[in-house]
Structure 1
Protein backbone atom coordinates (compact mmCIF):
# COMPACT_ATOMS: atom_id res chain seq x y z
CA UNK A 1 0.00 0.00 0.00
CA UNK A 2 1.22 3.46 -0.86
CA UNK A 3 1.44 5.84 2.09
CA UNK A 4 -0.39 9.14 2.41
CA UNK A 5 0.42 11.63 -0.34
CA UNK A 6 -0.81 15.04 -1.47
CA UNK A 7 0.50 17.70 -3.82
CA UNK A 8 -0.46 21.12 -5.16
CA UNK A 9 0.80 23.94 -7.34
CA UNK A 10 1.20 27.33 -5.67
CA UNK A 11 1.25 30.59 -7.63
CA UNK A 12 4.42 31.91 -6.00
CA UNK A 13 8.18 31.58 -6.39
CA UNK A 14 9.65 28.35 -4.96
CA UNK A 15 12.17 30.30 -2.87
CA UNK A 16 9.37 32.31 -1.25
CA UNK A 17 7.24 29.22 -0.54
CA UNK A 18 10.24 27.31 0.81
CA UNK A 19 11.27 30.19 3.10
CA UNK A 20 7.88 29.83 4.80
CA UNK A 21 7.53 26.03 4.66
CA UNK A 22 11.00 25.36 6.14
CA UNK A 23 10.08 27.08 9.44
CA UNK A 24 9.55 24.00 11.61
CA UNK A 25 7.75 25.90 14.38
CA UNK A 26 5.07 27.67 12.30
CA UNK A 27 2.60 24.83 11.65
CA UNK A 28 -0.14 26.67 13.60
CA UNK A 29 0.07 29.47 10.99
CA UNK A 30 -1.03 27.30 8.08
CA UNK A 31 -2.26 23.82 9.04
CA UNK A 32 -6.01 23.80 9.79
CA UNK A 33 -6.87 22.28 13.17
CA UNK A 34 -3.53 23.15 14.79
CA UNK A 35 -3.97 25.56 17.71
CA UNK A 36 -0.35 25.69 18.88
CA UNK A 37 3.03 24.59 17.58
CA UNK A 38 6.00 25.18 19.86
CA UNK A 39 9.66 24.29 19.66
CA UNK A 40 10.35 22.18 22.75
CA UNK A 41 13.92 21.12 22.40
CA UNK A 42 16.75 22.28 20.15
CA UNK A 43 17.49 25.12 17.75
CA UNK A 44 14.43 25.93 15.59
CA UNK A 45 15.90 24.87 12.23
CA UNK A 46 18.53 22.34 13.27
CA UNK A 47 18.00 18.64 12.61
CA UNK A 48 17.05 17.03 15.91
CA UNK A 49 14.78 19.87 17.03
CA UNK A 50 11.44 18.72 18.52
CA UNK A 51 8.12 20.52 18.10
CA UNK A 52 4.93 19.98 20.10
CA UNK A 53 1.68 20.39 18.18
CA UNK A 54 -1.72 20.71 19.86
CA UNK A 55 -5.02 20.76 18.04
CA UNK A 56 -8.33 19.08 17.37
CA UNK A 57 -6.56 15.76 16.70
CA UNK A 58 -4.75 15.76 20.03
CA UNK A 59 -1.08 16.25 20.89
CA UNK A 60 1.78 15.33 18.57
CA UNK A 61 5.53 15.58 19.11
CA UNK A 62 7.71 15.59 16.00
CA UNK A 63 11.46 15.66 15.38
CA UNK A 64 13.06 17.36 12.39
CA UNK A 65 15.35 14.82 10.74
CA UNK A 66 16.66 16.73 7.72
CA UNK A 67 16.41 20.24 6.31
CA UNK A 68 17.90 20.65 2.83
CA UNK A 69 17.71 24.20 1.46
CA UNK A 70 19.27 23.25 -1.87
CA UNK A 71 16.68 20.54 -2.58
CA UNK A 72 13.96 22.44 -0.65
CA UNK A 73 12.98 19.38 1.39
CA UNK A 74 12.44 18.66 5.04
CA UNK A 75 11.88 15.30 6.66
CA UNK A 76 10.45 14.70 10.11
CA UNK A 77 9.42 11.81 12.35
CA UNK A 78 6.51 11.59 14.77
CA UNK A 79 7.65 10.76 18.30
CA UNK A 80 4.21 10.84 19.99
CA UNK A 81 0.78 10.74 18.38
CA UNK A 82 -2.82 9.87 19.28
CA UNK A 83 -2.99 7.84 16.05
CA UNK A 84 -2.27 4.09 16.28
CA UNK A 85 0.86 4.09 14.11
CA UNK A 86 4.63 3.61 14.44
CA UNK A 87 7.77 4.51 12.52
CA UNK A 88 6.19 7.57 10.89
CA UNK A 89 8.46 9.59 8.60
CA UNK A 90 7.23 12.34 6.32
CA UNK A 91 8.77 14.65 3.73
CA UNK A 92 7.67 18.03 2.41
CA UNK A 93 9.21 19.32 -0.81
CA UNK A 94 8.85 22.61 -2.70
CA UNK A 95 10.10 22.44 -6.29
CA UNK A 96 10.08 25.22 -8.89
CA UNK A 97 7.78 24.82 -11.90
CA UNK A 98 10.26 26.28 -14.34
CA UNK A 99 7.92 27.20 -17.20
CA UNK A 100 5.46 29.17 -15.04
CA UNK A 101 7.38 30.48 -12.02
CA UNK A 102 5.04 28.57 -9.71
CA UNK A 103 5.91 26.02 -7.02
CA UNK A 104 5.04 22.32 -6.93
CA UNK A 105 4.65 21.23 -3.29
CA UNK A 106 4.29 17.63 -2.21
CA UNK A 107 3.87 16.01 1.20
CA UNK A 108 4.17 12.28 1.72
CA UNK A 109 4.79 9.80 4.52
CA UNK A 110 5.50 6.22 5.44
CA UNK A 111 4.55 4.44 8.66
CA UNK A 112 3.58 1.12 10.18
CA UNK A 113 0.09 0.44 11.58
CA UNK A 114 -2.35 -2.39 12.15
CA UNK A 115 -4.81 -0.68 9.76
CA UNK A 116 -2.55 1.27 7.38
CA UNK A 117 -5.28 2.13 4.87
CA UNK A 118 -7.41 3.79 7.56
CA UNK A 119 -4.46 5.81 8.93
CA UNK A 120 -3.36 6.80 5.40
CA UNK A 121 -6.87 8.15 4.67
CA UNK A 122 -6.92 10.10 7.96
CA UNK A 123 -3.53 11.67 7.21
CA UNK A 124 -4.24 12.39 3.54
CA UNK A 125 -7.75 13.81 3.96
CA UNK A 126 -7.36 15.31 7.43
CA UNK A 127 -3.82 16.72 7.33
CA UNK A 128 -2.01 16.74 3.98
CA UNK A 129 -4.80 17.92 1.62
CA UNK A 130 -6.20 20.68 3.90
CA UNK A 131 -2.65 21.74 4.80
CA UNK A 132 -1.60 22.16 1.18
CA UNK A 133 -4.89 23.93 0.33
CA UNK A 134 -4.22 26.38 3.16
CA UNK A 135 -0.64 26.90 2.01
CA UNK A 136 -1.82 27.53 -1.56
CA UNK A 137 -4.39 30.10 -0.39
CA UNK A 138 -1.74 31.83 1.75
CA UNK A 139 0.32 32.52 -1.36
CA UNK A 140 -2.59 32.70 -3.83
Structure 2
Protein backbone atom coordinates (compact mmCIF):
# COMPACT_ATOMS: atom_id res chain seq x y z
CA UNK A 1 0.00 0.00 0.00
CA UNK A 2 2.82 2.40 0.87
CA UNK A 3 4.41 1.74 -2.53
CA UNK A 4 1.17 2.55 -4.36
CA UNK A 5 0.80 5.84 -2.44
CA UNK A 6 4.42 6.73 -3.18
CA UNK A 7 3.89 6.07 -6.90
CA UNK A 8 0.72 8.18 -6.95
CA UNK A 9 2.47 11.02 -5.10
CA UNK A 10 5.44 10.89 -7.48
CA UNK A 11 3.10 10.94 -10.49
CA UNK A 12 1.34 14.05 -9.13
CA UNK A 13 4.51 16.10 -8.56
CA UNK A 14 4.89 17.32 -12.16
CA UNK A 15 1.32 18.62 -12.08
CA UNK A 16 2.03 20.87 -9.09
CA UNK A 17 4.40 22.97 -11.19
CA UNK A 18 1.42 24.36 -13.07
CA UNK A 19 -0.69 25.01 -9.98
CA UNK A 20 1.07 28.10 -8.69
CA UNK A 21 1.03 30.49 -11.65
CA UNK A 22 4.05 32.38 -12.95
CA UNK A 23 7.45 32.37 -11.30
CA UNK A 24 9.23 35.61 -10.41
CA UNK A 25 11.84 36.64 -12.97
CA UNK A 26 14.99 38.72 -12.64
CA UNK A 27 17.29 40.52 -15.05
CA UNK A 28 20.50 42.15 -13.84
CA UNK A 29 22.97 43.95 -16.08
CA UNK A 30 26.11 45.94 -15.34
CA UNK A 31 28.41 48.24 -17.28
CA UNK A 32 31.67 50.03 -16.47
CA UNK A 33 31.80 53.61 -17.73
CA UNK A 34 34.93 55.73 -18.08
CA UNK A 35 33.44 58.75 -16.33
CA UNK A 36 33.16 60.08 -12.80
CA UNK A 37 30.33 58.52 -10.73
CA UNK A 38 28.84 61.96 -9.99
CA UNK A 39 28.50 62.65 -13.73
CA UNK A 40 26.83 59.30 -14.39
CA UNK A 41 24.57 59.65 -11.34
CA UNK A 42 23.40 63.07 -12.55
CA UNK A 43 22.16 61.42 -15.76
CA UNK A 44 20.53 58.41 -14.07
CA UNK A 45 18.78 60.21 -11.21
CA UNK A 46 17.10 62.76 -13.51
CA UNK A 47 13.79 60.88 -13.58
CA UNK A 48 12.30 63.30 -16.10
CA UNK A 49 15.02 63.00 -18.72
CA UNK A 50 15.57 59.34 -19.54
CA UNK A 51 15.46 60.27 -23.24
CA UNK A 52 18.87 61.92 -22.74
CA UNK A 53 20.51 58.52 -22.37
CA UNK A 54 18.11 55.71 -23.36
CA UNK A 55 17.94 55.27 -27.16
CA UNK A 56 14.40 53.80 -27.16
CA UNK A 57 12.85 56.79 -25.36
CA UNK A 58 11.56 59.66 -27.52
CA UNK A 59 10.17 61.77 -24.67
CA UNK A 60 9.57 61.72 -20.94
CA UNK A 61 6.77 63.59 -19.15
CA UNK A 62 6.85 63.84 -15.34
CA UNK A 63 3.87 64.54 -13.10
CA UNK A 64 3.48 64.79 -9.36
CA UNK A 65 0.18 63.54 -7.99
CA UNK A 66 -1.36 61.34 -5.31
CA UNK A 67 -0.79 57.60 -5.66
CA UNK A 68 -3.33 54.84 -4.93
CA UNK A 69 -2.64 55.29 -1.18
CA UNK A 70 -3.21 59.05 -1.24
CA UNK A 71 0.52 59.78 -0.87
CA UNK A 72 2.37 62.37 -2.96
CA UNK A 73 4.24 60.56 -5.71
CA UNK A 74 6.20 61.21 -8.90
CA UNK A 75 5.23 59.47 -12.12
CA UNK A 76 6.68 59.57 -15.61
CA UNK A 77 5.22 58.70 -18.96
CA UNK A 78 7.86 57.40 -21.34
CA UNK A 79 6.91 57.68 -24.99
CA UNK A 80 9.02 55.27 -26.99
CA UNK A 81 10.36 55.91 -30.48
CA UNK A 82 8.22 53.04 -31.79
CA UNK A 83 5.09 54.77 -30.41
CA UNK A 84 4.52 52.63 -27.32
CA UNK A 85 4.33 54.07 -23.82
CA UNK A 86 5.40 53.04 -20.33
CA UNK A 87 3.96 54.68 -17.22
CA UNK A 88 6.28 54.46 -14.19
CA UNK A 89 6.24 55.48 -10.54
CA UNK A 90 9.36 56.71 -8.78
CA UNK A 91 9.81 54.77 -5.54
CA UNK A 92 12.95 56.51 -4.22
CA UNK A 93 16.09 58.43 -5.10
CA UNK A 94 18.99 58.04 -2.67
CA UNK A 95 21.79 60.49 -3.45
CA UNK A 96 24.09 59.12 -0.73
CA UNK A 97 23.96 55.58 -2.15
CA UNK A 98 23.40 56.75 -5.76
CA UNK A 99 20.39 54.46 -6.08
CA UNK A 100 17.13 55.02 -7.95
CA UNK A 101 14.10 52.73 -7.53
CA UNK A 102 10.99 52.72 -9.69
CA UNK A 103 8.15 50.48 -10.81
CA UNK A 104 6.08 50.12 -13.96
CA UNK A 105 2.42 50.92 -13.47
CA UNK A 106 1.47 49.98 -17.05
CA UNK A 107 3.03 49.82 -20.47
CA UNK A 108 4.00 47.91 -23.58
CA UNK A 109 6.55 45.58 -21.98
CA UNK A 110 5.23 42.03 -21.49
CA UNK A 111 5.67 42.21 -17.69
CA UNK A 112 3.64 42.73 -14.52
CA UNK A 113 4.70 43.72 -11.01
CA UNK A 114 7.94 45.15 -12.39
CA UNK A 115 10.27 46.78 -9.84
CA UNK A 116 13.70 48.09 -10.72
CA UNK A 117 16.79 49.57 -9.11
CA UNK A 118 19.60 51.41 -10.86
CA UNK A 119 22.73 51.77 -8.75
CA UNK A 120 25.77 53.91 -9.58
CA UNK A 121 29.06 53.35 -7.76
CA UNK A 122 32.78 53.91 -8.17
CA UNK A 123 34.19 51.60 -10.80
CA UNK A 124 37.20 49.29 -10.72
CA UNK A 125 39.64 52.00 -11.84
CA UNK A 126 40.21 55.67 -11.12
CA UNK A 127 37.64 57.86 -12.87
CA UNK A 128 35.42 54.87 -13.67
CA UNK A 129 31.84 54.11 -12.71
CA UNK A 130 29.94 50.84 -12.42
CA UNK A 131 26.21 51.00 -13.14
CA UNK A 132 24.01 48.09 -12.10
CA UNK A 133 20.41 47.81 -13.39
CA UNK A 134 18.28 45.19 -11.67
CA UNK A 135 14.68 44.32 -12.42
CA UNK A 136 12.29 41.87 -10.81
CA UNK A 137 8.96 41.06 -12.45
CA UNK A 138 6.48 38.47 -13.61
CA UNK A 139 5.45 37.62 -17.15
CA UNK A 140 2.44 39.50 -18.55
CA UNK A 141 0.08 36.48 -18.47
CA UNK A 142 -0.55 35.72 -14.80
CA UNK A 143 -2.66 32.58 -15.19
CA UNK A 144 -1.65 28.98 -15.74
CA UNK A 145 -0.97 27.52 -19.21
CA UNK A 146 -1.75 27.72 -22.01
CA UNK A 147 0.17 31.00 -22.15
CA UNK A 148 -0.56 33.37 -25.06
CA UNK A 149 2.36 34.02 -27.41
CA UNK A 150 4.49 36.97 -26.32
CA UNK A 151 3.25 36.92 -22.72
CA UNK A 152 5.51 34.12 -21.43
CA UNK A 153 8.60 34.20 -19.21
CA UNK A 154 10.99 34.09 -22.17
CA UNK A 155 9.33 37.10 -23.83
CA UNK A 156 9.41 39.08 -20.58
CA UNK A 157 13.09 38.33 -19.94
CA UNK A 158 14.02 39.10 -23.56
CA UNK A 159 12.20 42.46 -23.48
CA UNK A 160 13.75 43.60 -20.19
CA UNK A 161 17.19 42.40 -21.28
CA UNK A 162 16.86 44.43 -24.48
CA UNK A 163 15.87 47.54 -22.53
CA UNK A 164 18.82 47.17 -20.16
CA UNK A 165 21.43 46.28 -22.78
CA UNK A 166 20.56 49.15 -25.12
CA UNK A 167 20.11 51.60 -22.25
CA UNK A 168 23.39 50.83 -20.53
CA UNK A 169 25.33 50.84 -23.81
CA UNK A 170 23.98 54.28 -24.67
CA UNK A 171 24.41 55.59 -21.11
CA UNK A 172 28.08 54.63 -21.45
CA UNK A 173 28.32 56.42 -24.79
CA UNK A 174 26.63 59.59 -23.48
CA UNK A 175 28.58 59.71 -20.19
CA UNK A 176 31.89 59.11 -21.96
CA UNK A 177 31.05 61.85 -24.49
CA UNK A 178 31.36 59.59 -27.53
Q: TM-score, normalised on structure 2?
A: 0.70
* Structure 2 unaligned spans of 5+: 1-23, 66-71, 142-151
Larger Rg: 2
Q: How many residues align structurally? A: 135
Higher relative contact order (CA 8 A, sep 6+): 1
1:6-27 CA-to-partner distances (Å, cap 9, x unmatched) read 1100101111111121000011
State how far apart, in whole Å, the 2-side matches of 1:85 and 1:17 are. 27
- Correspondence for 1:61 among 76, 87, 103: 87
RMSD: 1.7
1:83-114 deviation line (CA, Å, top 9, x unaligned): 33211100101010264220000111011114
Q: Secondary structure at the match of 1:48?
A: strand
Alignment pair present for 1:70 and 2:96: yes
Is the 1:33–1:57 Cα contact (8 Å) retained in structure 2? Answer: no
Instruction: Tell whether the 8 Å contact from 2:25 to 2:153 is kept in structure 1 after alignment.
Output: no
Q: In structure 2, what is the Cα distance between the partners aligned to 1:97 and 1:85?
A: 31
- In the alignment, what sits opposite 1:138? 174
Q: In 2, are the aligned partners of 1:4 and 1:121 still within 8 Å (CA)? A: no
TM-aligned CA deviation for residue 116 of structure 1: 2.0
Q: Which runs of 5 or more structure 1 residues have no equivalent in the other structure?
A: none
